[in-house]
Amino acid sequence: MSQVQHSARSAALLALLGQLLCPALVLGQKPEYEFYYEFRKDFSQKLQEANHFALTGEQVLERYAAKLKSDGVSGAEIARRIRLIRTERGALDADYYSRLYLDSNANFNHEPNAFLVEVA
């Protein structure tokens, strides 16, 4: 394979990767999903760690609903959040990772991927 062919193939691969990732980042962040980032990052993960990952998903949701109620969140909002967690997990997870990767304080390596830089 010539250098030109290799460069063209690499450019096509990067374009495809961009098309696949960018819509997920744009479409993933919805204002109505904003609560899920904090739920997953600060509530669910810490609750499961404190309980040695022994809680079921329903137990986590019950405790989350109780916390929201004690925080003064309306019953309608609690029901909305619980419904979304139960029925829209894929969309919520897309939103979560979109927010995580854009969060400069998130605990992961923010440096460019060496392989991807080399290919580009």
| CA proximity to 59, closest of 75, 43, 42, 35 | 43
- 119 inside domain: no
Give 7-65 pLDDT, tens digit per residue: 566 666 655 555 555 544 444 478 899 999 899 988 999 999 999 999 999 999 999 99
Residues contacting residue 77 through CB under 8 Å, at least 6 positions apart: 68
Domain extent at residue 67: 29-110
Does residue 56 lie within any of the structural domains? Answer: yes
pLDDT digits (tens, 9 = 90+) for 81-117: 999 999 999 999 998 888 888 877 877 777 888 888 8
In a domain, 17, yes or no: no
- Give the pLDDT score at 98: 85
pLDDT at 52: 95
The Cα–Cα gap between 114 and 32 comes to: 35
- Domain membership of residue 101 (yes or no) is yes
Which one-letter DSSP state was computed for residue 32? G
Is 60 inside a domain boundary? yes
pLDDT score for 15: 57
Number of structural domains found in the chain: 1
Residue 106: inside a domain, yes or no? yes
Q: What is the pLDDT of residue 13?
A: 61
Domain assignment present for residue 76? The answer is yes
Q: What is the pLDDT of residue 11?
A: 60
Residue 33 is assigned to a structural domain of this protein:
yes
